[in-house]
Amino acid sequence: MDKTYEPHAIEQRWYAFWEERGYFAPSGQGAPYCIMIPPPNVTGTLHMGHAFQDTIMDALTRYYRMKGYNALWQPGTDHAGIATQMVVERQLAAEGKTRHDLGREDFIERVWAWKAESGGTITRQLRRMGASVDWARERFTMDEGLSAAVREVFVRLYEEGLIYRGQRLVNWDPVLRTAVSDLEVASAEENGFLWHIRYPLAEGGGDLVVATTRPETMLGDTAVAVHPDDERYQRLIGLHVALPLAGRRIPVIADEYVDPTFGTGCVKITPAHDFNDYAVGQRHKLPLLNIFTADARINENGPEAYRGLDRFEARRRVVGDLEELGLLDETRPHKLMVPRGDRSHAVIEPFLTDQWYVKTGPLAGPAIAAVKTGRIRFIPENWEKTYFDWLNRIEDWCISRQIWWGHRIPAWYDAQGRIYVGRGEAEVREKHRLGPEVALTQDPDVLDTWFSSALWPFSTLGWPERTEALDTFYPTSVLVTGFDIIFFWVARMIMMGLKFMGDVPYREVYIHGLVRDQDGQKMSKSKGNVLDPLDIIDGVDLDELVAKRTTGLMQPQMAPRIEKATRKQFPAGIHAHGTDALRFTFAALATTGRDIVFDMGRVEGYRNFCNKLWNAARYVLMNAEGRDTGAGGGDIELSQADRWILSRLQHAIAEANAAVRDYRFDQMAQALYEFTWNEFCDWYLELSKPVLTDPASSEAAQRGTRRTLVQVLETLLRLLHPLMPFVTEEIWQRVAPLAGKIPSNPPLEKGGAEGGGISIMLQPYPEVDPTLVDEAVVAEIEWLRQFLAGVRRIRSEMNIAPGKPLPVLLQQGSDEDRERLERHRRALATLGRLDAVAWLGESEPAPEAATALVGAMKILIPMAGLIDKAAEIARLTREVARLRQEAERGAAKLGNADFLGRAPAEVVEKERVRVAELQLAATKLEAQLTRIRHL
C-alpha cells in the first residue's frame, strides 16, 4: 500500500468495478428494502443538500444490502417543468429569440436537446458520491412509461370527478405567464405605501375614503365595502360612489370582512384581482371585472388612457392623476406582504383564468389517517403536526401550467368547446364516437411537475402495469427528504399512493435538515456562499472557486463582495478531501431534525480519519502479509489485549447497528470513529507491537495477535463501509484474503478486484458475537491504561523527555495487581518507556518519588535527578484538592437522610463506593505529599 491515503487514486476505480458487475442491483434474495431517490432536476447539478441526502440514502442502502435484504435504491430524474423551461428560454434570449419564435414543437425539441447535453451531469456526480443506485432501472419523469402513468392517473381521477376544470382566481405569474400553485408563492414583507383615495358619492352629499396598497386595481373595483356595524358609514350602505378615473358607478356594500379599525374602515372591492375581494364579490354577487392582460398590463376593460401600461406604470399614473384631481388624501409608507413566484421572483397577481384542479378533500382524508394510524411514521415525529396542519386546511390543487415543457394535459376540445378526456386522441374519438370530421384540439397546457412526482413511488416500478418490481418493492421502506417539500411532494405522494396502489408509498419518512454555510446562512448562488460537493472531494484552487461563485449572478454588483469573502475564507482554495471524508462528515453531522452548519474543519478531521484507517491497515498488512495468521491451523494463543479488542469490537458492532436502526448516523459515525482511533489504533496496535517484535513471544501468541489484527480490521472495514465505501473496499481487498474471505492466490496480482470479483459491499454486515464479550478482560486493560496514564502524566508534567526510560516502584498492590503486572510487564515497559518495575514492601522506606494511583495501588517514580520537587508538590496539591472537593460533595449527599431514604439502593451504594474511592485516593496522595515535603 502507498504510504499516504490518496482518495482520488481509488474512488473512480471501485465505483466502475461495482457498477460494471451489477452489484447495485437487488439480489433477489431476502426481504425487500427499497428507497426511492427524490428525483433531482435532470439538467441540474449536485449541491450540498443532494450530497447530504444521498449520503444518508446510500448508507442505508448499503447497510441493508449487507444485512441480507433484497435492496433497491431506485434512481431517476425529474423534468422540472418551469425550472428547465426557464433555463432554455434564457439560452434563447441570449440568441435574441423567445420560445414563440421557435414554436411549441421546435422549442420542446430544443429542451430535449438540452436534456441530452446536460442530463448526464447530475448522474455522473451521483456516481462520484458513491451512490449505489441500480442504474439499470433509472427513470425519467417524462419517459414513455412514466408519461403513461401520468395520463392514466389523470383520466381516472377525471372520470371519478376528482379532476375538474374551472374558472376562478389563481396565482398568476405575469413574467412566466402561467398559473402556479399556492405552494409556489412565497410572501415577504416589503416596503410600500398606503394610499387614501377619495371616492365621491354618486348620489351626492360628500365622499368616502378608501385605503389601498394597490391603487391601480381601482380600475377594476366593483364595490366599496364597510363593516355592517360601523356607525360612521351606516347611511352610505346601499348608496353608490362614482369611481374616479374609470367613470363607473359602483355600490357601497356592508360586509363583515371589513375591519373598521384599519385604515379608513372603507375597503375598495376588486373581485377579479384580490382573493379576499373575490370572496366578498361572491357573497354579494358582484361582477368580476378583469383589467389585466396575461403579462399584467391594463387591458381593454380599463380606461383608454391606461391601456397597455404595465401594472407598476399604471400605478404611478393612477396616483398622479388622482392627485391632480384632488382625490388623493394621503400617501403614507406602509409595510405589506408581497407575494412572489419562487421561480421568477415576479410579483404574483391573482388572476381570473380557466385551470384544471385536483379535488383534494377526498384524497386528504386517507392521507391523514395513514399517518394517524402509524402506517407511516415521520422521523423526527414532530413533522407529523406540520403534515396534519396542511392537510386539514388543504385547498384544491391547481395542476395546469401555461408552459410547454411537461406532460401535456390529456384533454381535447371540439369546436363547441366540449371537453373530452382520455389516454390519447384515438381513445377519445373511439369512446365518444367522434369521426374524423370532428376537429379536436388538445389542451395546450401541461401539468404541474409535482403531478408526475406524486406518482414516483409506483410509476418508477412499472405502474400501471402490474410488475414484479411493484409487487416486491411497493410499499417502499423509507423516504429520505427535506422538510421543504413535505407539502409539495410527500403529502401528494401519500395521497396518490393510497388512491392508486391502495397502500402507503413508504413506511417511514426521514426528514433531514438543511445544509447551511459556516455562519449558519442558507447557501445560495446570490449570496455567493455555495460549496460544490465535488470541490470538497477533488479540491479547487482559489481563483476557480472565486470564478464559480461570481459568474452568472443575478446581481453582478455583488461580485466584489463575494470575491473578498471567498478569498478571506479560503486563502488557499479548498484541498481535496475525497468522497469518503465528505460522506463521513455528513453522517457525523446528521442529527435528526436539525439543520447542519457545514464546517470545513470537520471534513479535514474526517479526511485525517481516513488516513488513520489507511495507516492502521498498512501496519496490519505489514505484520500479516506473508506471515502465519493462523489460517493454516497451528496453535493460537490470545493475549489479554487480543481478547480486549475483540470484546470492544462487539461493543462497536452493537452501537453501529443500533444507530442505523434509529437513523442516528451521527452516533454510528462517532462510535466507529472512537473505536477505530481511540481503541484499535491508540491501544490495540500499540499493544500488539511487543508481542510481534519480541523474539521471546511464542509462535502461538504471535499467530493469535496477527489473526486478531486481521479479524478486527476486516470487521471494522465492513462496519464502516456504508459510510465510507471507497477506502474500505480498497483496504478490504487486501485484508480479506488474510482473513480467509477471499481466495488468496489470484486477486492481488491482478489488482484485487479483477481477479476475485468479490466485494466488501456484498459481505454481511457485522453482528455481535456474545461469546467474544469479556468484561473481565476489559477491566484488566482498563487497569493497564490507567497505569500508563499515570506514568505519562507524571512524565509530561514533570517535563521528563518522552524517550527517557524510567524506573518504577509499586506499593500497596493487591494479588490481582501483581498478576496483572506480570501479564503486562513487557507492554508496560514498551508503552510507558519504563526500564524496571519493582515492588516495594509495605514497610520499606520509599525514595523521594512522584506518585500516581491505579485504584489502591501506588505507582512511584523515583525523583533522583529527574523530578522537580516543587512541581510534584504543586501537582499533588492540586490533585488532592480536586479529590477532596469531589469527596465532600458526595459525603454531603450521603449525609442527607432524604437521599438515603428515597433514592434507590443502588444509587446510594454507587455513591458510597465513589466517595470511598475518592477519599482513599486523597488520603494516599496526602501521605505522599507529606513525605515529599519532609525529604
Partner RNA sequence: GGGUGCUUAGCUCAGUUGGGAGAGCAUCGCCCUUACAAGGCGAGGGGCGGGGGUUCAAGUCCCUCAGCACCCACCA
- What residues between 689 and 708 interact with RNA by CB under 7 A? 689
Residues 670/652, Cβ–Cβ less than 8 Å = no
Nearer to RNA, 655 or 729 (CB): 655
Nearer to RNA, 208 or 461 (CB): 208
Residue 219 C-beta: closest distance to RNA, Å? 14
Residue listed under C-alpha cell 477533488: 538
Which residue spans within 89-239 are E strands per DSSP? 139-140, 163-173, 178-180, 185-200, 207-212, 223-226
Interface with RNA (CB under 7 A), residue total: 93
| CA-to-CA separations, 218 to 189, 223, 407, 846, in angstroms, rounded | 22, 10, 38, 101
Nearer to RNA, 392 or 843 (CB): 392
Query: Which one among 554, 572, 696, 801 touches RNA, defined by CB under 7 A?
Result: 801
Nearer to RNA, 1 or 846 (CB): 1
Under rule CB under 7 A, residue 312 binds RNA: no
Q: For residue 722, give the nearest of 674, 778, 765 by alpha carbon.
A: 765
Rounded Cα gap, residues 127 and 44, in angstroms:
15
Using CB under 7 A, which of the segments 316-324, 360-368, 465-473, 618-626 binds RNA? 618-626
φ, ψ for residue 434 (rounded to 5)? -100, 120
What does the per-residue mask of binding to RNA show for 555-594, with x meaning CB under 7 A? Answer: ----------------------------------x-x-xx
Cell of 822: 506480570
Residue 183 C-beta: closest distance to RNA, Å? 6
Residue 2 C-beta: closest distance to RNA, Å? 10
Residues 199/248, Cβ–Cβ less than 8 Å = no
Under rule CB under 7 A, residue 258 binds RNA: yes
Residue 555 C-beta: closest distance to RNA, Å? 19
Under rule CB under 7 A, residue 625 binds RNA: no
CB atoms within 10 A of CB 557: 7
Using CB under 7 A, which of the segments 48-56, 95-103, 261-269, 750-758 binds RNA? 261-269
Residue 895 C-beta: closest distance to RNA, Å? 11
Under rule CB under 7 A, residue 663 binds RNA: no
Residue 172 C-beta: closest distance to RNA, Å? 15
CA-based radius of gyration for the chain: 37
Under rule CB under 7 A, residue 654 binds RNA: no
Rounded Cα gap, residues 850 and 929, in angstroms:
9
Q: Which of residues 759-788 bind RNA (CB under 7 A)?
A: 788
Query: Which one among 21, 899, 923, 926 touches RNA, defined by CB under 7 A?
Result: 899
Under rule CB under 7 A, residue 551 binds RNA: no
Nearer to RNA, 342 or 848 (CB): 342
What does the per-residue mask of binding to RNA show for 493-532, with x meaning CB under 7 A? Answer: -------------------------x-x-x----------
Q: Which of residues 199-238 bind RNA (CB under 7 A)?
A: 210-214
In sequence order, the 6+-apart residues with CB closer than 8 A to the CB of 731 are 1, 613, 614, 617, 713, 717
Rounded Cα gap, residues 196 and 533, in angstroms:
53
Under rule CB under 7 A, residue 595 binds RNA: yes
Using CB under 7 A, which of the segments 81-89, 422-430, 696-704, 799-807 binds RNA? 799-807
Nearer to RNA, 596 or 753 (CB): 596
Under rule CB under 7 A, residue 50 binds RNA: no
Using CB under 7 A, which of the segments 141-149, 753-761, 801-809, 927-935 binds RNA? 801-809
Query: Which one among 123, 171, 657, 667 touches RNA, defined by CB under 7 A?
Result: 667
Nearer to RNA, 818 or 882 (CB): 882
Residue 134 C-beta: closest distance to RNA, Å? 32
Rounded Cα gap, residues 153 and 430, in angstroms:
20
Rounded Cα gap, residues 626 and 706, in angstroms:
11
Rounded Cα gap, residues 821 and 784, in angstroms:
8
Rounded Cα gap, residues 629 and 34, in angstroms:
39
Rounded Cα gap, residues 89 and 87, in angstroms:
5
Using CB under 7 A, which of the segments 257-265, 438-446, 624-632, 746-754 binds RNA? 257-265
**Treating both helix axes as pointing N-terminal to C-terminal, what angle do 48-66 and 120-128 enclose, rounded to 10 degrees?**
60
Under rule CB under 7 A, residue 268 binds RNA: yes
Residue 679 C-beta: closest distance to RNA, Å? 11
Query: Which one among 408, 525, 793, 823 touches RNA, defined by CB under 7 A?
Result: 793
Residue 318 C-beta: closest distance to RNA, Å? 14
Residue 119 C-beta: closest distance to RNA, Å? 29
Residue 239 C-beta: closest distance to RNA, Å? 19
| Residue 245, SS3 per DSSP | coil
Query: Which one among 283, 316, 385, 564 touches RNA, defined by CB under 7 A?
Result: 385
Which residue spans within 228-327 are E strands per DSSP? 240-243, 248-254, 266-269
Q: For residue 728, give the nearest of 67, 60, 23, 130 by alpha carbon.
A: 130
Rounded Cα gap, residues 314 and 150, in angstroms:
42
Please state whether 397 falls in left (phi above 0), alpha (psi between -120 and 50) or beta.
Answer: beta
In sequence order, the 6+-apart residues with CB closer than 8 A to the CB of 816 are none
Q: For residue 185, give the nearest of 23, 347, 308 by alpha carbon.
A: 347
Nearer to RNA, 132 or 360 (CB): 360
Residue 283 C-beta: closest distance to RNA, Å? 13
- In the chain, the amino acid numbered 468 is E
Residue listed under C-alpha cell 461493543: 651
Residue 790 C-beta: closest distance to RNA, Å? 9
Per 3-state DSSP, the chain is made up of helix, strand and coil in percentages (nearest 5) of 50, 20, 30
Residue listed under C-alpha cell 491482478: 750
Rounded Cα gap, residues 344 and 30, in angstroms:
48
Q: Which of residues 75-114 bind RNA (CB under 7 A)?
A: none
Residue 425 C-beta: closest distance to RNA, Å? 37
Q: Which of residues 321-380 bind RNA (CB under 7 A)?
A: 336-337
Cell of 84: 428547465
Nearer to RNA, 554 or 905 (CB): 905
Rounded Cα gap, residues 67 and 873, in angstroms:
57
How does DSSP classify residue 504? -
φ, ψ for residue 799 (rounded to 5)? 60, 45
Query: Which one among 886, 888, 919, 920 touches RNA, defined by CB under 7 A?
Result: 886
Residue 792 C-beta: closest distance to RNA, Å? 4
Query: Which one among 295, 628, 637, 797 touches RNA, defined by CB under 7 A?
Result: 797
Query: Which one among 368, 494, 616, 821 touches RNA, defined by CB under 7 A?
Result: 616
Nearer to RNA, 617 or 719 (CB): 617
Query: Which one among 35, 57, 183, 738 touches RNA, defined by CB under 7 A?
Result: 183
**Treating both helix axes as pointing N-terminal to C-terminal, what angle do 699-720 and 600-624 enclose, rounded to 10 degrees?**
150
Residue 50 C-beta: closest distance to RNA, Å? 19
Nearer to RNA, 23 or 193 (CB): 193
Residue 622 C-beta: closest distance to RNA, Å? 6
| CA-to-CA separations, 54 to 468, 489, 533, 722, in angstroms, rounded | 26, 18, 12, 12
Q: For residue 739, give the nearest of 617, 830, 846, 648 by alpha carbon.
A: 617
Q: Which of residues 469-488 bind RNA (CB under 7 A)?
A: 484, 487
Using CB under 7 A, which of the segments 307-315, 434-442, 606-614, 821-829 binds RNA? 606-614
Rounded Cα gap, residues 505 and 496, in angstroms:
9
Residue 907 C-beta: closest distance to RNA, Å? 4
